[in-house]
Structures are given as structure tokens and as C-alpha cells.
Amino acid sequence: MHLDERRFQEDFAALPEPGDHDALVGPALLLLRLHPAREGFRGFVDAGVGVMDVSRPAIFYHDASGNLQTLEGAEIFGFDWCYSVGVGIEWTWYRRAFGAMVESRFVNAPGRTEPAHSIATLRSGIQYTIPRIAWFGSHSSGR
């Protein structure tokens, strides 16, 4: 989330010092994904819950007198619960462990503070499928 420098200048009559002023948003999610059981290109939808951490870095600026002032960083949300929904396309090939994906995701953290925070992302990546362990998921015939 980006700092609105125009609004900062209206509120403090100064511009912040150069640097990284973006708030950091970090959701950790547990998702349930539904997709066709075939290899190749396939669509998917998923939904889940998790926790989101949103933190704001410290901001330094010079006031009208030329004195250096500091707005301390803060945890806006300290691990508040959130929910997420996503849709996308993935490509898998079971004979190879690698695949690729493109997804769009919406995450909302209603939180204990106002306003609630929501993020929407579009991302792509390479995925790796963990090979099946012999004792996990194997079927015995009972013979």
C-alpha cells in the first residue's frame, strides 16, 4: 500500500524524506482448492482463511522550522484473521513435477480496527508438485 504524498503534505505541510514508505501486507492463508483431476491446462477456484499482518514503516520529514520529525512505524493489523477467494489457471504435467499458474486473489481482513483492509492481487509463478511418498496415498488390495 503506497503512501499518498499529496495528503501527507496537506496534513504535515512537508514532504517525507526519500525512502520506502509503503506499508507491508503479509497474509498467511490455508486454502482449499478445487480443480479437475486431469493434467494439462485446468482452471481452479479456492477459498480459505488465515491471518494478515499489515505494518507501516517509520516516516521521517523536516517540519517548517527545519527540525527532523519522525512518525513511528506501527502494526496496523497485528495478525488479524482474514478470508480469501481466488480463481486461476494452472498447467500441470504429472510425469514432471513442475507446472505453472496464473491467479487472481482477493483477501479481506475485517479486523478490529477501522477501516478494514482488503487486497486484490494478480500473480503468476512456477509450481513444484511434491512426489507422492510410497506409504502415503497408496492403496492396498488386501491380498
81-109, pLDDT tens digit by residue? 889 999 999 998 877 778 899 999 998 88
pLDDT band at 43 (very low <50, low <70, confident <90, very high): very high
The verdict on residue 84 lying in a domain is yes
Q: Which pLDDT value is given to residue 130?
A: 75
The verdict on residue 39 lying in a domain is yes
pLDDT at 5 > cutoff 80:
no
Kind plus residue range of the DSSP H or E element containing 10 = helix 5-12
For the CA atoms of 116, 26, 57, 1, what is the dihedral angle to 10 degrees? -60
Q: Which of 131, 111, 129, 130 is nearest to 119 (CA)?
A: 111
The verdict on residue 139 lying in a domain is no
The verdict on residue 134 lying in a domain is no
The verdict on residue 23 lying in a domain is yes
What's the grid cell of residue 98?
513442475
pLDDT band at 143 (very low <50, low <70, confident <90, very high): very low
> Could you give the 3-state DSSP secondary structure of residue 41?
strand
Burial of 16 (0-12, 13-18, 19+ CB in 10 A): middle
The verdict on residue 143 lying in a domain is no
Containing domain of residue 23, as a range? 5-128
The verdict on residue 49 lying in a domain is yes
Identify the bridge partners of residue 109 per DSSP, sorted by sequence position. Answer: 117
Domains in the chain, number = 1
21-35 core/surface letters (b: 16 or more CB in 10 A; e: else)? bebebebebeeeeee
The verdict on residue 50 lying in a domain is yes
